[in-house]
Amino acid sequence: MGYRASVVYFATDAACRKASKAPSFTEAQTRAAATMTTNLAPFPGISNVVPALSIKVKALSSGSYTTSTTVLPAGSVNTSQNIYFVILGVDADIDPLVHFAGGFMGLNIPGLTGPYTLHFTSQAYVENPNGLTE
């Protein structure tokens, strides 16, 4: 299970970095999903991968931040007052390397007798903040 979790972690990080370089938020979502699919395809035992991309806007003056799962309103990007990040959260089911059929001592234990759901998160600085409105 450990190696599969590592594969998903690195795939999440790579997908987030590709999304951060996209010219628009819509394209970032497409790139993140495509990168996750491509990077995880060669590895069996990883299923139900659900990537979710969001925007984090951090104010330079106060350090407070807001998060959005959709494009930002037109004209709202202000790079002199805010820093912009994309956050990629991924849920995935990781199968154990060895399945204990019938349970372990009569119990069903995720990660031992069946898949275990993990959540991974990666964050990257947006290289084209003005594209977050598209």
Which pLDDT value is given to residue 11? 95
Separation of alpha carbons 44 and 54, rounded Å: 28
In the chain, where the domains are located:
2-129
pLDDT tens by residue, 7-18: 999 999 999 999
What angle is formed at CA 69 by the lines to CA 28 and CA 94, rounded to 5 degrees?
75
Q: How confident is the model at residue 87 (pLDDT cuts 50, 70, 90)?
A: very high
Question: 109 Cβ partners below 8 Å, 6+ apart?
Answer: 103
> What single-letter DSSP state applies at residue 131?
G
pTM of the predicted structure, to 2 decimals: 0.86
> Average pLDDT of 87-92?
95
For 53-86, the DSSP string reads EEEEEEETTT--EEEESSPPPTT---TTTEEEEE
